[in-house]
Amino acid sequence: MNRVFLKKANDHKRELLHQVCRPVRTVTFQKDETAFQGLRVQAVDNFSWPIILKPHESVILDFGDHCVGYLHFSMRTLDHIADAPLKFRFSFGEFPLEIEKNPADYQGGLGSGWLQNEERTYTFLPYTTQLERRYAFRYLKIERLEDNTPFAVAFSDMYCDCVSAVTPKTLPSVSIPDNTLRRIYDVAVKTLQDCEQDVFEDGPKRDRRLWMGDLKLQAITDFVTFKNVDLFKRCMYLFAAYPCADGRISCCLFPDSPPHNDPWKLTDYALFFGCSLYDYTQAFNDEEFLNDLYPIAFEQLKITSSFWNEKTNTLDAEFFIDWCPDLDRSVAALGVYSYALTRIGALAKRLQKEEDMAFVAAEQARVKDALMSHYDADRKLFVTPQGQISWHSQIWAVLSGLLPQADAVALLARIKDDATPFTIRTPYMMHCYIDALFAVGEKQAAMAQVVAFWGDIVEKGFDCFPEIFNPQNDFESPYGAPEINSACHAWSCTPAYWIHRYYNEGDAV
Amino acid sequence: MNRVFLKKANDHKRELLHQVCRPVRTVTFQKDETAFQGLRVQAVDNFSWPIILKPHESVILDFGDHCVGYLHFSMRTLDHIADAPLKFRFSFGEFPLEIEKNPADYQGGLGSGWLQNEERTYTFLPYTTQLERRYAFRYLKIERLEDNTPFAVAFSDMYCDCVSAVTPKTLPSVSIPDNTLRRIYDVAVKTLQDCEQDVFEDGPKRDRRLWMGDLKLQAITDFVTFKNVDLFKRCMYLFAAYPCADGRISCCLFPDSPPHNDPWKLTDYALFFGCSLYDYTQAFNDEEFLNDLYPIAFEQLKITSSFWNEKTNTLDAEFFIDWCPDLDRSVAALGVYSYALTRIGALAKRLQKEEDMAFVAAEQARVKDALMSHYDADRKLFVTPQGQISWHSQIWAVLSGLLPQADAVALLARIKDDATPFTIRTPYMMHCYIDALFAVGEKQAAMAQVVAFWGDIVEKGFDCFPEIFNPQNDFESPYGAPEINSACHAWSCTPAYWIHRYYNEGDAV
C-alpha cells in the first residue's frame, strides 16, 4: 500500500450531498405479459399520510424515482397502546420483480445478502428511526409480521435520505432537441449521479465497488456533466495506492475503511488506468496529477508486454472484455493493448519521455503484426485462435486504431451480418461498439444504437440504466437470478457522453 | 397530565450506568430430563476469540450472567474478501428454551415481538456495530443465513453494554451466615438491579414497564439495598403526572417519551400508590415529597369508597390480586383496601389531617364488617360470594390487620390444609404470604418459604428471579408459551428485603 497516494486519495474525499425523497403513492404489482418482466405497476387510489398497517397487512410504497440512501420514518399507534414490540419486514426493490420474488426461492450464484430485505423489531411506540443499511430502490414493501398485537400502526415522516457526491443543480445546460435523446440523457445522468458516492461505484445496489473498467466510462461522462474532478482523482489515487503484488492496477477496490483490493487481475482494467489518465489530461490541465500517476500508467504497459506469447501471437493474461460466456478474448485483448499504447504513448510524448515513446512504438508494431495474424482474409473478419468469431474481436480491432478507416467501417458492417452467438450482452460492450462507430466517423449509426438500445430500456420503465439488458429476454441475468441484477449501473451511463459529443462537438467528432 | 409532577419526575431522571459484559464460553443445549425445562447447558471445549462462523454455521455464546443492554461486536473475514453482504440471525435468551424454541412455532397469547430475535445484513467487512434493541439475556445464538459467500467470518470485540440505574458497588455490606440465603439474597439484588432502568421496570425483557404493584415491592427492597431514592421519586411523580380520567392512579405506565398510561384500571394498584408513599416515608424523612403526593394517595381511598356495593359487601371494581385464573378477588380486595386505609391513615395522622382521619376510621369499620361477613364460621376460612376458598382471601384477610393475631396465625395454618386449587402461582403472591407470616410473627416459617420457593429457583439454574415459577411444572406460563416468560422480574426480588429484615431488624419485627 502506498501511503503517499492514499493520503492524496483522502485529501480528495468530500462530504456527500443529501436530498430528501418521499413516497408519492402506494402501488400493487399486477401480472401483465405486456409489461417488463410481466409485472405492471398499478397505483392504489387515495394515497395519503399516514400509511396505516393493521396486523398482518402489507403495503408497497413508490418513491417516484430511483433512490440511493437511508430510510427514515416515524411510527405511532392510533387505536391502542403499543403494548408489545412490532416486527416488520422491509423489502426494497429497484424494480417490481426484486420485491415480488420470494427470497426463500433465490437460486442465484451471487451472495443472497444482496437481496435488499430486512426484518426489524420495535419495542416502543411512538418511535422515530432509520435503517442502518444503504439501499438502492424505488419501491419499498412493508409487511407487518408479529402476532397478537391487535392495533393499527401509522407510519409518517417517511423519507429516503438520498446521498450522492453530486447534484443535478450543477449540471451544465445542454440543448437536446430530440425528445428521445433528451430522456435518455436525463436517465443516463441520473444513473451516473446515483453511482457517484464516496467513490465511483459500479452500482449503488450491487456491488458498490470501484471497478477500473466502470470508472473509465463514468469519468468521461462525468467530465462533460457533473465535472466532479475531486472524485475522479480520489479514485485514481486509490487505485495507485492499492496495486496488486505484481504491480498491476487492481481491477476492483472495496472502498471501505481500510480499502482493500480484489486479488482478481484483469489486464484490460489495469491498462485502462492509463487510458483514464489520458482522458482526464485531455479534458483538464493538471500537470501535477499527470506527473504523479504517469509512471504507474506506463508500468502497466511494461507488465502487459511481459505476457506476450510469441507462438500464438496473443497475451497470456486474463482480460475481462465483456460479460459473455465462453468468449475467447485473445484478439480483443490485443485491441485493448493497442488502444492503451496509443493513449499512454500520447502522455509519454507530452512528458517528453523519449525512452517510453520508443517502447510504445516497438510494442505497437508488435501488436499490429499479432492482430493482423488473426485476420481471416477469406471471411474478412478477425478470428481467434479458438476459431471464434465475435463482435468483441471486431470492435476492439477497430478501437486498436491500427486499421485503415475504410477497412474498419467495412469490418463493423460485416459483423452485423454474421450469425455468431458472441454478440453484445452488456451496455458496457454497447459503449465500445458506439466508440468504434464514432471512431470511424459513423456518427449517425452510433446515435441510432443509442436510441435503439437505451431508448428501449427507457421504454421498459427503468428509472436508471441497468448493468444488463437483453431486448429479447427480460429475465437475462449473469447470475441466474434476474431479481439480483443491478438496475442502476455506471457502465450504462455513457449515452450522456455520446449525446453531449453529438450535440456539442458536432463536426469536430 | 400534570406538568408540575412531570417536571419533578424529570428532575429526578439520572443517567444510566454502564458495565461491559463479555461472552465467557460457547455452549450447546442438550436434552436432559433432569434439567430445568429438559435442557442442560453444556460447555463446548476450547473457547477462544475470535468466534469463527463459516457459511450456514451457528454458535451459542454464554455471557456468564444475566445481561440487560446492547450488543456490540466487530466482524472481519479471514480467508477471502467479503464480496457480498452477510446475513445473521441473532437470538437472545434469558434461558435455553427461549433460544431452542422455533419462533415460527410460537402459540402464545402475548405479542410475538417479545421473542428476542433479529435478522441483520452487513454489506461490508470489516465492520463494527451494535444492535439497536435493548435485550435481556444470558445466551446468544448467532446463525449465518446467507447463501453463496464461501468465506469465514470472525467475530471479535463482542460485549454487552449492560445498563442499569444502580451498581452493586454501592450496596451495603450485609452479613448472611446461611449460604442458601446468601445466594438467594445475591440473586434477588441482581434481579432488582437489572430492573432499575429509566424507571423501575417490571421485567427488563418484558414488559419493560412501570407497574405500580411491582414498584411497591421493588421500592421496599431498594430502600434496604441500593437506596436509589431518585428513581423511586421519579416513578411516583410519573404516576402522579399520568392518572386515569377518573383520578385513579394508573396501574401501569409506558415510560417512553412521551409517557402514557394504560387505560386498564386496577384498584389495588391505585391504592398501593399511598402504601408506597407510606413505606418511603417510614424509611426516609422527606416532608416535601409527602406533602406533594399525599392528596393523591388519599384521593385513591375516596375513589375506592365510591365502589362500595352494600348488598354484596364487596367493592365493584377490578383488582389484580394475583395472576390466578378464575380467582374471585372480592374478599382479597377488602383486605387490600383495609391495608391501604391503615397506611394512608397513618400518613393522614402524621400530617394532622383530622377530616381524613375520620374518613379512614369510618371506612375501616365498614371494611371490617364487610370482611367478617365473608367469614365461614364452620369452615373457619374466608369464602367469597362465589363460594370460593383461596389462599388469596386468607392472606389478604390477615394483611388487612383487622384480625386478632391468634386468629390470623390459625387462618394461615388452616389454608395450608385446604385442597383449594386457588393457591399461590407467582412470586408476587408468595411475597404477600411471607408478608402475612411476618405480620403475625411467624418469622421462621416465613424464612422457610423464602428458602423453599426462591431456593428452588436458584437450584434450577436461574440467574435472576422470574415472574412465574411452579416447582411442579417447568413449563408454567400465564401466556401459553413458556419461552416468552420473563426470567428476571422485579416482583420476585423481595427475598433481599426479607433476608435484610430477618438479619438486621431481628426481634424488632
Task: Convert B85-131 into a string of H (helix), E (strand) and C (coil).
Answer: CEEEEEEEECCHHHHHCCHHHCCCCCCHHHCCEEEEEECCCCEEEEC
Candidate from B86, B147, B149 with C-beta closest to A106: B147
B254–A124 CB contact, under 8 Å: yes
Average pLDDT, chain B: 95
Instruction: Give ∠ CA A40-A46-A51 in degrees, rounded to 5.
Output: 90
What is the rounded CA–CA span in Å between residue B345 and residue B361? Answer: 8
Candidate from A87, A133, A263 with C-beta closest to B123: A133
What is the rounded CA–CA span in Å between residue A272 and residue A258? Answer: 24
Reported ipTM: the value is 0.91
DSSP string, A181-230: HHHHHHHHHHHHHHHBSSSB-S-TTTT--EEHHHHHHHHHHHHTTT--HH
CA atoms within 13 A on the CB side of A445: 15
What residues contact A472, with CB distance under 8 A and at least 6 apart? none
By residue count, chain A amounts to 509
Q: For cell 506527473, what's the residue?
A: A291
**What is the pairing mode between strands B153-164 and B17-21?**
antiparallel
By residue count, chain B amounts to 509
Give me the helices (H) in A308-426, please. Answer: 330-350, 354-372, 391-399, 405-415
Distance from CA of B82 to the nearest CA of A (A): 9
B123, B149, B252, B264, best to mutate vs chain A, most A CBs in 10 Å? B123
pLDDT for A509:
39
pLDDT averaged per 10 residues, chain B (length 509): 94 97 97 97 92 96 98 91 92 98 95 95 93 97 94 96 97 92 97 98 96 97 97 98 95 81 90 98 95 98 97 97 96 98 98 98 98 97 98 98 96 96 94 97 95 96 95 93 97 97 67
Residues of A in contact with B76 (CB under 8 A): none
Distance from CA of A121 to the nearest CA of B (A): 7
Look up residue B48 and give its three cell numbers.
477462544
Mark A330-341 as b/e (b = at least 16 C-beta within 10 Å).
bbbbbbbbbbbb
SS3 label, residue A64:
strand
Q: For cell 439488458, what's the residue?
A: A469
Residues of A in contact with B207 (CB under 8 A): 83-84
A207–B83 CB contact, under 8 Å: yes
pLDDT for B507:
44
Residues B286, B287, B291, B294, CA torsion sign: positive
Q: What are B's interface residues with A at a Cβ cutoff of 8 A?
A: 81, 83-87, 106, 108-114, 118-124, 126, 129, 132-134, 146-149, 207-208, 254, 256, 260, 262-263
Distance from CA of B316 to the nearest CA of A (A): 25
pLDDT for A258:
67
Quote the pTM value.
0.93
pLDDT for A508:
40
pLDDT averaged per 10 residues, chain A (length 509): 94 97 97 97 92 96 98 91 92 98 95 95 92 97 94 96 97 92 97 98 96 97 97 98 95 81 90 98 95 98 97 97 95 98 98 98 98 97 98 98 96 95 94 97 95 96 95 93 97 97 67
What is the rounded CA–CA span in Å between residue A116 and residue A114? Answer: 6
Q: What are phi and psi of A248, to 5 degrees?
A: -70, 145
Bridge partners (DSSP) of residue B260 are B254
Q: Is B46 left (phi over 0), alpha (psi -120 to 50) or beta?
A: left
Candidate from B81, B84, B132 with C-beta closest to A113: B84
